Structure 1
């Protein structure tokens, strides 16, 4: 796997911090890593974007950003309102392929969910993944409502013939509720793909050195880490049906 596309089931699900964790684990394993942000929104000129945050947390990675728009909107909408050129899927694919010629791993981070539009023609990150023939990692929230959005994302990838590598929970709460705990079993079932990690809530606030040290423990071996999905499920499992228990 030389190119990995990373998408969320929506916004604010932990996509950037998870991208940083995957990058940190790869760097720790001695791989050269590039991070491509397809379209950055909600950030002005000179301000730090998602790629910069990945580099701050993960360390020695190459970063690239194809476009940025000041308003926090879908890239296509933000480009139109700013009267700036949109990003097209073929540009994302070409940039990722170019980075892959000089790096062991290229992480392509999308904006929001899989089908957020980049351009007036309706181009999306899913189109870029198709052009690249690259696997996609889906970042999902832990709690109530995640099953529907995760399954829809998985179905769309399979409809297009794009490989779904797995699902990572972008922010695992310190005191998980019943829905979150049940979702540890339900997420891989509805997505028909492995659960490949769970990042603790607040991981992005760790000092970079601590983040880099811990990152492999949040990710499964498929992503270069040591996280054990079954052990995590067993530890966080809810009580059985009708059995009272302390969920904290």
Structure 2
């Protein structure tokens, strides 16, 4: 079964909106889709988080959350502050494994950048490697900013993933401005050159505020069928 890992070059780069767009495309093709969020921070027990936003924007997707923590920090830091123990790598891998076995496409959305610890001494790359070892086809999508600084951050993220012999399908710009400047326009040319992987999509800035039907139609142009 296919498992698509969505990571970002940093926090607040548009991972959740890109995840929703990717899910919307898969749903439009008649596939069963699930989204897993191993760790959600900065959210209370009864609040809607990233997975609720994915469901709102994409539609009928099954969603699974590994753990949620109240402070807006890296998961391992938030757990330490809260005095809580995070699920282990084997437990989170088991969750993804079960979900992937029951759905045509499973998306796993990370927290912050790809090397942020989701548990004690393990990160999203470790989880992806473990899921691959369990027999699933694994591929990454890297969500990047549009403007200055994105080249270095995107290249480092791609290199970290590829260092573990994991596949990167490409880079998606998480919030493409309505009036891009010179840096943004040139980054469209430079991102593939610097990262060594294709630029496979651009989600317009403010896409999450669109009516859901417009979002789902737009997703077909913003991101590819992977």
The structural deviation recorded for 1:145 is 0.1
Q: Deviations over 1:47-84 (max 9, x none)?
A: 00101110010000000101000000000000111111
93-102 vs 35-44, which moves further: 93-102
- Deviation track 1:218-241 (CA, whole Å, cap 9, x = no partner) reads 113x43xxxxxxxxxxxxxxxxxx
Counterpart of 2:182?
A: 178
Deviates more, 1:127-136 or 1:5-14: 127-136
Q: Conserved in 2, the CA contact under 8 Å of 1:89 and 1:125?
A: no
Name 2:135's counterpart in structure 1.
none
SS at match of 2:146: coil
Unpaired runs of at least 5, structure 1: 224-248
More strand by share: 2
**1:85, CA displacement in angstroms?**
1.6
Q: Once the 2 structures are TM-superposed, how far is the Cα of residue 164 of structure 1 from its aligned partner?
A: 0.9
Distance 1:25 1:61 in 2: 12
Q: Does 1:64 align with 2:68?
A: no
Q: Which has the larger radius of gyration?
A: 1
Distance 1:56 1:210 in 2: 12
Residue pairs, 1:152-163, within 5 angstroms: 152-163=156-167
Residue equivalent to 1:97: 97
- 2:81 aligned partner: 81
Structural mapping, 1:202-241, within 5 Å: 202-220=206-224, 222-223=225-226
1:116 is aligned to 2:116: yes
Aligned to 2:9: 9
Corresponding residue of 1:187: 191
1:131 maps to 130
- 1:119, CA displacement in angstroms? 2.5
Pair 1:143-2:142 in alignment? no
Question: 1:88: Cα distance to partner?
Answer: 3.0
For residue 19 of structure 1, what is the aligned residue in structure 2?
Answer: 19
What is the CA deviation profile of residues 187-234 of structure 1, one whole-angstrom value per residue up to 9, with x for unaligned ones? 1111111111000000011111211121111113x43xxxxxxxxxxx
Count of equivalent residues? 221
Tell me the distance in 1 between the aligned counterparts of 2:170 and 2:211: 27
Q: Cα RMSD between the aligned structures?
A: 1.1
SS at match of 2:163: helix
Post-superposition offset of 1:156: 0.8
Tell me: higher relative CO, structure 1 or 2? Use CA pairs within 8 A at least 6 residues apart: 2
- Structure 2 segments unaligned to the other structure (5+ residues): 133-137
Corresponding residue for 1:41?
41
